[in-house]
């Protein structure tokens, strides 16, 4: 998934504000789900709400206003009630490593109670996205 860096993403020095990387990773996770036919809205309606319980970012080089970044997202771990997504963020043109990170998400019922995913959803999470 590509992310274009706009002025609003940056600090006064034109460098991406550190917390925005977590937002980019969130977008990439949502796209990962949608690419596999899983709608966040539909999951929530079915009583399956993903809650981030741990997040980490390792900043390698600064991203700057006007650049386009590529985010590679993989599901690095999955269990019936939790999953971990890993992200690698690179500047698209030169492939410079910008950041790496991960987020562990628990599956809840929307009221904070841990809930298991059904086998069909786990299989969809682990599948390759269909080719366009």
In a domain, 132, yes or no: no
Of 48 and 130, more confident: 48
In a domain, 131, yes or no: no
pLDDT of res. 118: 87
Q: What is the C-alpha separation between 56 and 64, in angstroms, rounded? A: 21
pLDDT of res. 131: 66
Could you confirm whether 2 is annotated as catalytic?
Answer: no
Flag whether pLDDT at 115 surpasses 90: yes
> Which residue range(s) make up the domain with 57?
2-126
pLDDT of res. 67: 98
pLDDT tens-digit readout, 26-36: 999 999 999 99
pLDDT of res. 36: 94
pLDDT of res. 95: 97
pLDDT of res. 109: 93
Q: What is the CA radius of gyration of the chain?
A: 16
| CATH of residue 62 | 3.10.129.10
- The number of distinct structural domains making up the chain is 1
The one catalytic residue in 2, 9, 11, 109 is 11
Q: Which residues of 106-121 are buried (b: 16+ CB within 10 A; e: fewer)?
A: bbbeeeeeebebeeeb
Q: What is the mean pLDDT of residues 95-103?
A: 98
The answer for residues whose C-beta is within 8 angstroms of residue 53's C-beta and 6 or more apart is 82, 104, 105, 106
């Amino acid at each position: 998934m590509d992310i274009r860096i706009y002025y609003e993403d940056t600090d006064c020095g034109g460098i991406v504000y550190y917390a925005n990387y977590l937002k980019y990773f969130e977008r990439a996770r949502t796209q990962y789900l949608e690419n596999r036919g899983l709608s966040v809205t539909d999951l929530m309606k079915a009583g399956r709400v993903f809650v981030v319980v741990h997040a980490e970012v390792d900043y390698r080089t600064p991203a700057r206003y006007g650049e386009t970044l590529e985010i590679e997202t993989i599901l690095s771990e999955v269990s019936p009630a939790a999953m971990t997504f890993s992200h690698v963020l690179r500047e698209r043109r030169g492939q410079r490593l910008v950041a790496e990170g991960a987020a562990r998400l628990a599956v809840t019922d929307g009221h904070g109670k841990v809930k298991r995913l059904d086998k069909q959803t786990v299989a969809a999470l682990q599948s390759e996205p269909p080719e366009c």
